[in-house]
Amino acid sequence: MRDFSTDHRWLSINTATVRRQRGQDWGLLEILDACAARGIRAVSPWRDQVAAAGLQATAARLRAHGLALSGYCRGGMFTYTDAASRQAARDENRHALDEACTLGAPCLVLVVGALPGALAGRPAHRDLAGARQQVAEEMAELLAEARTRGMPLAIEPLHPMYAADRACVNTLEHALDLCDVLDPGRSGALGVAVDAYHVWWDPKLQDQIARAGGSRILAFHVCDWLVPTTHLLEDRGMMGDGVIDLPRLRGWVEDAGFAGYSEVEIFSRANWWLRDGGEALDTCIVRHRRCV
Amino acid sequence: MRDFSTDHRWLSINTATVRRQRGQDWGLLEILDACAARGIRAVSPWRDQVAAAGLQATAARLRAHGLALSGYCRGGMFTYTDAASRQAARDENRHALDEACTLGAPCLVLVVGALPGALAGRPAHRDLAGARQQVAEEMAELLAEARTRGMPLAIEPLHPMYAADRACVNTLEHALDLCDVLDPGRSGALGVAVDAYHVWWDPKLQDQIARAGGSRILAFHVCDWLVPTTHLLEDRGMMGDGVIDLPRLRGWVEDAGFAGYSEVEIFSRANWWLRDGGEALDTCIVRHRRCV
């Protein structure tokens, strides 16, 4: 297992982690500058942040700093209620693929979607199995597009508390079952993003990480699960502040063959966290050395 | 599949559902009176409610109304940090067993516990696998006690969002694995409580319900998953207000051989809900006919 305690060469920052400071958005280009100034070598940006900063400007800034990507967030949201919404999702996903290529991402991360309309509080139906069927079908369609571009897709199973509104793939086992169906040859075109926050609770986690192997694990995300957790989306904890045994989990992932970046992805409403983006990055570096 | 639409003979009320009204506790004996007055035939009381009302007084009131129990809540909380806390948990569970016998419960429901201290916000460690090992060992010990009393134990897998602080058994599959280890002969002494709120998201749910069969399914609980869900514990929805396909789930449970009560268990902070316990019961009856 790699020693993370003396440097942060394997730390990546998911840029949503520091998207807000001092009550306003922190621009992506400034975030990239702040990461580079701290010797951080990789980031994973979100599409809306890239759109606000400009795709070409983002690509140029990444190059100027020699910053790598550990992933691109995100594609997916596959479920639909009619032909128009299906096509809209397909179009969005092709744009996401093209952007990932332009930015040189190692993979496009997929949050697959769930019951259509649920994220807006108006679920169109209760057919979770049907939503899962749509996800499988649309992912097959996107995979063909991704193969032509040479851009791997990483299915991110989300915590079961998001099954209704964000992603109806909620275990690593389910994600790997999809991989086996859609890419039985383990071509490298399809894999998973293992986010500690979403999967830490799973009694089958160690076995499923081993099943995934290095060829299927395309990304590894860290933060922590707080007790108590007071908000379903924006109460993720800084590594070390919660109950996830991150070194053990990283050990499993590395034993499986993963040797990439460890990406810090924290959504938090905590006041201290939102005060100063630079301080937040400094804390990520310290905790990544100490607690991951 | 049984027709629930014309009467509520298979409705049971988990008495925590109406434990509060008009800003104060509603006494268990009054809850029993209110249920009986509405033709509700079964309830599932919580230990603290029984303790406040008195065990013998509760038993007498149940008899007077001819009310059955669909379960008794709850035993479990098996995990410990030292010999003293282990013994305290064992003592509590034996008391719970004895009370369940006195009240004529069909099973003692088990919420198995998780990381010691986490429920109070001070987790003693991060060893979830170790906590699961303690659960298996202590459950074996309690099962021996339960067998001598003829009181079945029902493991209730809780939603994964409670893995840190309430129960580290979070899937029906995990609960059934424990049943197979501890009671391979399917003696009837050990089974599961299937609560729709905790398990609805699981892609393996239908298969695992079939695996459980009628001999392992000792209780069936219903409420609904709201979108958005704004609180991890007290934002359960009334049946029909959320996204769980309850009739489909009940169909799976009945196909497996379960023919018992359908128990409404709702924890909610909603103002309308906490206003009048009698109205809440009336709503349970209406929605149970229409949406379960």
Full DSSP string of B225-265 = --SS---SSSB-B-TTSSS--HHHHHHHHHHTT--S-EEE-
Query: Cα separation of B111 and B113, whole Å?
Result: 6
* A202 close to B (CB below 8 A): yes
Put simply, the answer to whether B227 touches A203 (Cβ < 8 Å) is no
Q: Tell me the C-alpha distance between A28 and A72, whole Å.
A: 13
Quote the minimal CA–CA distance from B254 to chain A in Å: 19
Amino acid making up residue A122: R
Start-to-end Cα distance in chain B:
11
User: DSSP characters for A190-255?
Assistant: EEEEEEHHHHTT-TTHHHHHHHHHHHHEEEEEE-B--SS---SSSB-B-TTSSS--HHHHHHHHHH
Asked if B181 is an interface residue toward chain A (Cβ–Cβ < 8 A), one would say: no
Give me the pLDDT at residue B272, please. Answer: 84
Contacts of A149 (CB under 8 A, 6+ apart): A97, A98, A101
Q: What is the pLDDT of residue B273?
A: 85
CA distance to partner chain B, nearest, from residue A161 (Å): 7
Contact: A115, B232; criterion CB under 8 Å: no
> Which of A125, A243, A246, A248 would you mutate first to test chain B, the one with the most B CBs within 10 A?
A243
The pLDDT, as a whole number, for residue B167 is 98
Question: Do the strands A108-111 and A20-21 form a parallel or antiparallel pair, or are they unpaired?
Answer: unpaired
Tell me the sheet residues that pair with B72.
Answer: B108
Across the 292 residues of chain B, what is the mean pLDDT of every consecutive 10-residue run? 97 97 95 98 98 98 98 98 98 98 98 98 98 98 98 98 98 98 98 98 98 98 98 97 98 98 96 91 98 98
Chain A interface includes B202 (CB < 8 A):
yes
CB A84 within 8 A of CB A119: no
Residue B227 to residue A160, Cβ atoms within 8 A: no
| Residues of chain A above pLDDT 70, percent | 100
CB atoms within 10 A of CB A124: 15
Please provide the average confidence, as pLDDT, over all residues in chain A.
97
Is residue A273 pLDDT above 90, yes or no? Answer: no
Residue type, A92: E
- Please state, in angstroms and rounded to a whole number, the distance separating the CA atoms of residues B74 and B90: 13
- Tokens, residue A100: 């990932």
Contact A232 B232 (CB under 8 A): yes
The phi, psi pair for B190, rounded to 5°, reads: -145, 135
Q: Contact A245/B159, CB-based, under 8 Å?
A: no
CB contact under 8 A, B128 and A174: no
Query: What pLDDT, on a 0 to 100 scale, did the predictor assign at position B184?
Result: 98
* Structure confidence at residue A43 (pLDDT): 98
Cβ–Cβ contact B241 with A under 8 A: no
> How confident is the model over A171-184, as a mean pLDDT?
98
Helices (runs of H) and strands (runs of E) counted in chain A: 11, 11
First to last CA, chain A: 11
- C-alpha–C-alpha distance, residues A134 and A77, integer Å: 10
> CB-CB: which of A126, A169, A243 is closest to B244?
A126
Residue of A nearest to B126 (CA): A243
Q: Does A170 touch chain B (CB under 8 A)?
A: yes
Q: Which residues in chain B touch residue A243, judged by CB atoms under 8 angstroms apart?
A: 115, 118, 123, 126, 128, 164
Determine the residue type at B201: W
CB of A165 less than 8 A from some CB of B: yes
The number of CA neighbours under 13 Å toward the Cβ of B233 is 11
Band of pLDDT at residue A271, cut at 50, 70 and 90 = confident
Q: Is residue A37 helix, strand or coil? A: helix
Tell me how close the Cα of A93 comes to any Cα of chain B, in angstroms.
Answer: 25
pLDDT of residue B267: 95
Residue A136: its chain B contacts at CB < 8 A? none
> How many whole angstroms separate alpha carbon A208 and alpha carbon A186?
15
Verify cis geometry, omega within 30 degrees of 0, for the bond prior to A74: yes
Cα distance between residue B150 and residue B171, in whole Å: 26
**A-chain residues near B157 (CB < 8 A):** none
Residues of B in contact with A132 (CB under 8 A): 203
**B127 CB near a chain A CB, below 8 Å?**
yes
Determine the length of chain A.
292
* Helix pair A172-182, A128-149: axis angle to 10 deg: 50
DSSP 3-state of A97: helix
| Contact with chain A for residue B225, Cβ under 8 A | yes
Looking at this predicted complex, what is its ipTM? Answer: 0.97
Mutate which: A119, A166, A224, A225, vs B, most B CBs within 10 A? A225
Indicate the Cα dihedral angle B126, B130, B131, B133, nearest 10°.
Answer: 170
Largest CA distance in chain B: 53
Residues in chain A within 8 Å Cβ distance of B159: 160-161
Task: Identify any residues that bridge with A24 across adjacent strands, giving them in sequence order.
Answer: A21
Judge whether A89 and A78 are in contact, CB under 8 Å: yes
Peptide bond into B228 cis (omega under 30): yes
Counted across chains A and B, CB pairs separated by less than 8 A come out at 93
Instruction: Put the strands of the sheet holding B68-69 in their side by side order.
Output: B68-69, B42-44, B11-14, B262-264, B217-222, B190-195, B153-155, B108-111, B72-76
**Contact assignment for B164 to A243 by CB distance below 8 Å:** yes
Smallest CA–CA separation between B38 and chain A, in Å?
A: 30
d(CA B104, CA B94): 15
Place of tokens 């049971």: B12
Please classify residue A185 by burial: count the beta carbons closer than 10 Å to its beta carbon, then call 0-12 exposed, 13-18 middle and 19+ buried: exposed
